[in-house]
């Protein structure tokens, strides 16, 4: 090999690195692309253009689901599922409508209390799944009902209040950007990225990818799983606080929790996270959530009956999921199809 070959070989290796980086985020990139196309069409067709009011409303709606979808992502990455995210979201909404009041220090203390409540819900889920050895789907179905029950006791009728300064700040624009978008970016930067780059975050991916291999490698499986559910509870609680700011009240409505749970799973899948675990990211789920929410807006600007919305959401979901099954074309032993 002559000396001049080196830069070329280095260059090839550099591009190979990029190819792998892009390949590893295929699902995320597809979700971003789908969202970009949908939002461009929406902005173009929108009769009054994209005013800050319209953007704010769209952002708030999208971010609510985005936070719950992020909460769903973490257990899904470990190969689990959290059917209680929607109920934690509702429960923390009810709690926040009682404690995030009074202004200043008191409001801050209320926020901390709500986050602590959310993480406790997650901790209970995690402990049951890891040490009770129950399947996540049934464990969280049960705990979700319990969390909703507590929400009902807290707030039998819709009502309550929230610190109005805090609520206004959260639902308006800051520096020309909707505050809720800033919130979601902050969550990504302060919670998701550090988690993704921690040993236990890495462990969550390893467990979802192959729990056996993770165990053989000496990965701390129990701790990583419990943390995944705790994180899920915290993220759902952040969503619950934002909901309180938007509605100025708390409401224990079962349909709301159920809706958010199911939509969060759909958003996770559209965002490129595998329901088998091991691959994907919470950032993809954010875009997945925005795709889900934009479908409704698109129907509106095209003057279509809102009754069509569920159908279209279903079609988008199917299309997004189908890209994942392309890998089946590579299988060489038919028995692997059923594993």
Partner 1 sequence: MDSIGTPLLRMQGINKHYGGVRALEDVRFECRESTVHAVLGENGAGKSTLIKVLSGVVQPDAGTIELGGERVTFPSPAAANRAGIACIFQELSLAPDLTVADNISITNPPKKLGLIDHRAQRRIAEEVLARVGGEDIHPLTLVADLPLSRRQMVEIAKALARNPRILILDEATSALTAADVGKVFAMLKQLRTEGMSIVYISHRMGEIKELADECSVYRNGRYVASFAAGTKSDDAIVEMMIGREYSNVFPPRSAKVVEGPPALSVRNLSWEGQLNSISLDVRPGEIVGLGGLDGQGQRQLLLGLFGTLIGATGAIEINGVPVKVSSPERAKSPNIAMALIPEDRKNEGLMLPMSVRDNLSFAALGRFTRFGVVDRKAEAKAIDEMISLLQIRSDGVDGPVASLSGGNQQKVVIGKWLMNRPRIILLNDPTRGIDVGTKQELYQLLRRLAADGAAILFYSTDYDELIGCCDRVLVMYNGAVIRTLAGAELTEHNLIASALNLPASPTPGPGLAMAHAGAAS
* Residues at the contact surface with partner 1, assessed by CB under 8 A: 13, 16-17, 20-21, 23-24, 193-194, 197-199, 202-203, 205-206, 208-210, 212-220, 274, 278-279, 331-335
CB closer to partner 1, 64 vs 219: 219
Find out whether 156 and 252 touch, Cβ atoms under 8 Å.
yes
The CA R_g of the chain, rounded to the nearest whole Å, is 21
Task: Calculate the alpha carbon distances from 211 to 78, 114, 217, 277, 280 in Å.
Answer: 9, 33, 10, 10, 16
Query: Cβ 233 to partner 1, closest distance in Å?
Result: 22
Q: Which is nearer to partner 1, 133 or 197 (CB)?
A: 197
Is the CB of 36 or the CB of 189 nearer to partner 1? 189
CB of 156 to partner 1, least distance (A): 43
Contact of 285 with 66, CB cutoff 8 Å: yes
Beta carbon nearer to partner 1, 65 or 219: 219
> CA–CA separation, 107 vs 97, rounded Å?
11
From the CB of 149, what's the least distance to partner 1, in Å? 33
Q: Report the nearest approach of partner 1 to the CB of residue 212 (Å).
A: 8
Is residue 317 within 8 Å of 269, Cβ to Cβ?
A: yes
Residue 25 beta carbon to partner 1: minimum distance, rounded to whole angstroms: 11
Q: Closer to partner 1 at the Cβ: 22 or 311?
A: 22
Helix H segments across 197-253? 199-209, 211-216, 221-247
- Strand, helix or coil at 252? coil
């Amino acid at each position: 090999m002559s000396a001049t070959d080196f830069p070329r070989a280095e260059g090839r290796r550099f591009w190979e690195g990029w190819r792998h980086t892009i390949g590893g985020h295929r699902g995320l990139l597809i979700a971003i692309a789908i969202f970009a196309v949908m939002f461009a069409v929406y902005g173009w067709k929108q009769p009054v253009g994209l005013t800050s009011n319209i953007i704010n409303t769209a952002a708030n709606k999208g971010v609510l689901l985005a936070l719950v979808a992020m909460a769903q992502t973490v257990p899904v990455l470990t190969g689990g599922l959290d059917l209680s995210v929607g109920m934690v979201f509702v429960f923390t909404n009810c709690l926040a409508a009682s404690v995030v009041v009074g202004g200043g220090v008191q409001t801050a203390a209320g926020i901390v209390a709500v986050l602590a409540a959310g993480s406790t819900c997650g901790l209970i889920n995690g402990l049951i799944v890891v040490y009770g050895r129950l399947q996540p789907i049934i464990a969280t179905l049960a705990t979700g009902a319990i969390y909703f029950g507590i929400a009902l006791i807290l707030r039998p009728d819709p009502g309550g209040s929230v610190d109005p300064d805090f609520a206004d700040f959260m639902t308006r624009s800051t520096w020309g950007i909707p505050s809720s978008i800033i919130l979601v970016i902050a969550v990504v930067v302060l919670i998701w990225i550090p988690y993704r780059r921690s040993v236990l975050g890495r462990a969550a991916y390893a467990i979802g990818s192959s729990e056996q291999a993770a165990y053989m490698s000496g990965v701390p499986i129990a701790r990583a799983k419990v943390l995944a559910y705790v994180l899920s509870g915290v993220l759902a609680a952040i969503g619950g606080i934002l909901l309180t700011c938007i509605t100025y009240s708390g409401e224990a409505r079962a349909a709301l929790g159920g809706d958010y749970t199911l939509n969060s799973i759909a958003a996770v899948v559209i965002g490129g996270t595998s329901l088998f675990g091991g691959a994907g990211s919470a950032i993809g789920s954010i875009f997945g959530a925005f795709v889900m929410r934009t479908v409704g807006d698109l129907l509106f600007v095209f003057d279509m009956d809102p009754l069509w919305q569920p159908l279209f959401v279903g079609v988008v979901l199917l299309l997004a999921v189908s890209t994942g099954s392309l890998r089946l074309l590579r299988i060489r032993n038919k028995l692997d199809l059923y594993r």
